[in-house]
């Protein structure tokens, strides 16, 4: 089901990092942790602003573009079906993936008032930095979140969010694969389902 697993996207909405050029410490681990902390605080501040849903989407869109490797994550989530998709299908799917991500995050913004983000240590794994953090919300248990940050030295991008040991992009890829397997591997049907989901946001 395309709409499953919105919890991880909700976590992503609470502290999505915004790319900055602040002074960083020397080590890649320290740089990645500073990236998440500094920019996480920026997005938390932005979440306090009021406005229409459309206005919020316009605000969150550039943040997503700067902070997340949207094209890379979209390709990963489509998995093996990316190789069978036409150029037109890839373009339409990637654009919709971007818009659905913005829609899901925007819809959750109002639920994340008074959020406290605490950034812990970062460790190197497979050429990426894994930044540990906790998210505290009123009347909710503390959530453990790990941010997978690539290209730390040049152009940091979040490529995955792991909440309570569950990977966002692996879960989304599983959901898309399940949908396609039940719909004759028809990518156009997945695109139509994404359009429907976007229309409901």
Q: What is the pLDDT of residues 74-101, one digit of tens each?
A: 999 999 999 999 999 999 999 999 998 8
Q: Considering the domain boundaries, does residue 100 fall inside one?
A: yes
Domain count, the chain: 1
Residue 1 lies in a domain: no
Domain with 152 in it: what CATH number? 3.10.450.710
Residues of the chain with pLDDT below 70 are: 1-26, 42, 45-50, 106-113, 201
SS3 for 16?
coil
Q: What is the pTM of this model?
A: 0.80
| CA proximity to 81, closest of 14, 161, 176, 191 | 176
Domain span at 84: 6-200
């Amino acid at each position: 089901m395309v709409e499953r697993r919105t919890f991880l996207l909700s976590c992503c909405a609470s502290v999505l990092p915004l790319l900055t050029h602040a002074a960083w410490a020397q080590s890649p681990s320290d740089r990645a942790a500073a990236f998440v902390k500094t920019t996480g605080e920026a997005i938390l501040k932005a979440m306090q602003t009021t406005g229409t849903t459309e206005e919020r989407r316009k605000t969150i869109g550039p943040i997503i573009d700067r902070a997340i490797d949207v094209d890379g994550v979209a390709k990963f989530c489509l998995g093996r079906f990316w190789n069978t998709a036409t150029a037109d299908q890839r373009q339409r799917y990637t654009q919709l993936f971007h818009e659905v991500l913005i829609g899901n995050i925007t819809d959750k913004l109002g639920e994340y008032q008074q959020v406290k983000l605490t950034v812990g240590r970062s460790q190197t794994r497979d050429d990426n930095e894994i930044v540990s953090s906790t998210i505290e919300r009123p009347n909710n248990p503390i959530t453990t979140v790990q941010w997978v940050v690539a290209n730390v030295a040049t152009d940091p991008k979040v490529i995955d969010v792991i909440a309570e040991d569950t990977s966002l992009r692996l879960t989304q890829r599983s959901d898309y694969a399940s949908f396609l397997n039940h719909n004759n591997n028809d990518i156009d049907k997945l695109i139509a389902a994404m359009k429907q989901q976007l229309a409901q946001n």
